[in-house]
Structure 1
Amino acid sequence: MTPYDLRTATPADYDAIAAVADAWWGRPILHALPRLFLDHFHRTSLVAEGPGGMAGFLIGFISPSETDEAYIHFVGVSPGARGGGVGRAMYERFFDLARRHDRHVVKAITAPVNTASIAFHRRMGFAASDPVPHYNGPGTTLVTFSRPL
């Protein structure tokens, strides 16, 4: 257990998430999380809150096209909350949500330079691909993840 409460996200959470995303990553990353994700997928997204405010968030959705899959699009954990189980708790809650929607696979992606994310996903039971060149077009090499539920 973590000392954080997990709740379903709301569209109003976007501004708080946008305010911390680049700082939590240490590089510009907000472009990968347009407001539409909180407008349209807030019911399948999570926010972790603790005594100091937001400690993490997970933006995910149940795929409307791949009927066996759910997808985790973007996850952030406050630097001060890392290592405390916030990320694991959010992923486990999302896995439960995906199971309730009769999904059997969860997928995600990250940049090859994000070695902490790759290691985390492997610890969470995801299989990681080799880097996939041009995954999102020219110049965007990404690692893909897949985890059976």
Structure 2
Amino acid sequence: MIIRHANESDYVSVIHVINDWWGGRQMADMLPKLFFQHFQTSSFIAEQDNEMIGFLVGFLSQTYPDEAYIHFVGVHPAYRRMGVARRLYERFFSVAARHGRTTVRCITSPVNQTSIRFHTRMGFSIEPGDGEVDGIPYTSNYDGRGHDRVLFVKTLPPQEED
């Protein structure tokens, strides 16, 4: 597996598979092309045998100079539980740390138990919210009315000096 920076032309490949990778859920609207135009240095494509098997779209916050944000991650269903997402996240953490970021944030839906388990295994903490489901705190209406989200935060270890 190789992991490379995303580029604008990757948008078509990602949008072509994104709804299928989410079991038919309509997810494409959550990932506009602008991410592939403006956040290439902090977004990645995982490939094996010249086939895209995963992607991560993230960015370095312009508002909070010590923070980075993972906006969207996807792994081909046939390659799940093989470390693809872990490697994508680790690459993002490395880029974020090299740019002086000490905090990484991301979100998921409260019903996405797989995502919640993955993020906690990756060292993310769940931030307090105003609701709770199955013992998991969430923030109501985070992404608009009826779109509750679990908010994650991870502190990156200090970057070692060369």
TM norm structure 2:
0.88
Query: What displacement does 1:52 show?
Result: 5.9
Residue of structure 1 equivalent to 2:30: 32
Larger proportion of helix? 1
AA matched with 2:95: L
1:87 aligns with 2:94: no
1:122 aligns with 2:120: yes
Query: What displacement does 1:42 show?
Result: 1.4
AA matched with 2:145: P
Residue of structure 2 equivalent to 1:137: 144
Q: Deviations over 1:23-81 (max 9, x none)?
A: 10111111110111111111210000002600000000000111110000000000011
- Does the residue aligned with 1:75 lie in a helix, a strand or coil? strand
AA matched with 2:92: F
AA matched with 2:47: E
AA matched with 1:75: V
Matches of 1:10 and 1:66, distance apart in 2: 25
Gaps of 5+ in 1: none
CA RMSD for the aligned pairs? 0.9
The aligned length equals 146
- Does the residue aligned with 1:117 lie in a helix, a strand or coil? helix
Q: % of aligned pairs identical?
A: 47
Matches of 2:126 and 2:28, distance apart in 1: 24
Matches of 1:79 and 1:126, distance apart in 2: 23
